[in-house]
């Protein structure tokens, strides 16, 4: 069974995930960030694969990718870092990257490395559904990997229900039709969107991302969905205060 589904069996409210960019702020910070996030109560961790053309990411995460790439990060380094903590890490990890990274690295090799690291969930925002259905579904099933689809306020009900049928991890509910970035508050328009999704009574776990930046926004979205991902706000925290104050960031959201 997918490791996230094991978590979701025992907890289905106020699920907290944190995104960070592998290799940021320092090349070798990946393991410590994962360890500290897990020890402070984060339910699952989204590991960003730095990319030179991150279409879904705002300036904060773009900057972190640029720094990480300049630090010398690449997929081989990331996989070695993740392998080094596979036996000690108890918090499920999700890889977030782009399809071109998988294609360039080699599809089979990418999947093999995921398995070697204990990764069973990936997010590829630019993976077309038709490509998933005709090719990647079979490939990922072969390796026991679950794919996470994103929905936005503009996603049709028909497509949402189709995604719900294809999902065996969670649906990534994009909070607004924009790039990533901490927005500071949840608007009435967003609440209406969350209420609409909630009323659909989907079978899948729903996790909101994009614009969740603090305890207030986290708690608000969790009134409508199962949990939320904090990304840009955490990257800013790392940039300003370093990797030794991760506990303060998590406690600021969960306590």
Q: Is 161 helix (H, G, I), strand (E, B) or coil?
A: helix
Distance from C-alpha of 218 to C-alpha of 18, rounded to nearest angstrom: 11
Selection from 91, 93, 92, 111 nearest residue 101 by Cα: 111
Distance from C-alpha of 42 to C-alpha of 86, rounded to nearest angstrom: 17
Catalytic residue among 36, 43, 46, 120: 46
Catalytic site includes residue 185: no
Catalytic residue among 57, 80, 185, 239: 57
Count CB neighbours of 241 within 10 A. Answer: 12
- Bridge partners of 148, per DSSP, are 123
Distance from C-alpha of 173 to C-alpha of 221, rounded to nearest angstrom: 10
Catalytic site includes residue 244: no
Phi, psi of 68 (to 5 degrees): -60, -45
Burial 94-124 (b: 16+ CB within 10 A, else e): bbbbbeebbeebeeeebbebbeebebbbbbb
Residues tagged active-site: 46, 57
């Amino acid at each position: 069974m997918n490791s996230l589904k094991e978590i979701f069996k025992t907890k289905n409210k106020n699920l907290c995930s944190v995104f960070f960019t592998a290799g940021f702020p320092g090349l070798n910070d990946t393991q410590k960030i994962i360890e500290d996030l897990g020890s402070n109560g984060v339910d699952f961790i989204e590991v960003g694969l730095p990319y030179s053309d991150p279409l879904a990411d705002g300036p904060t995460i773009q900057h972190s990718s640029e720094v990480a790439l300049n630090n010398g990060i690449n997929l081989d380094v990331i996989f070695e870092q993740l392998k080094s903590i596979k036996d000690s890490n108890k918090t499920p990890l999700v890889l977030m990257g782009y399809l071109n990274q998988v294609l360039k690295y080699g599809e089979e090799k990418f999947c093999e490395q995921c398995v070697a690291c204990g990764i069973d969930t990936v997010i590829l925002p630019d993976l077309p559904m038709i490509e998933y259905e005709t090719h990647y579904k079979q490939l990922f099933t072969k390796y026991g990997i679950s794919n996470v689809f994103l929905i936005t306020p503009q996603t049709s009900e028909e497509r949402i229900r189709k995604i719900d049928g294809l999902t065996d991890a969670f649906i990534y509910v994009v909070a607004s039709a924009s790039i990533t970035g901490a927005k500071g508050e949840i608007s009435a328009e967003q609440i209406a969107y969350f209420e609409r999704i909630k009323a659909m009574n989907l079978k899948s776990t729903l996790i909101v991302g994009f614009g969740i930046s603090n305890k207030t926004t986290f708690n608000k979205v969790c009134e409508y969905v199962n949990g939320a991902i904090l990304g840009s706000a955490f990257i800013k925290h790392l940039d300003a205060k370093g990797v030794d104050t991760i506990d303060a960031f998590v406690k600021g959201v969960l306590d």
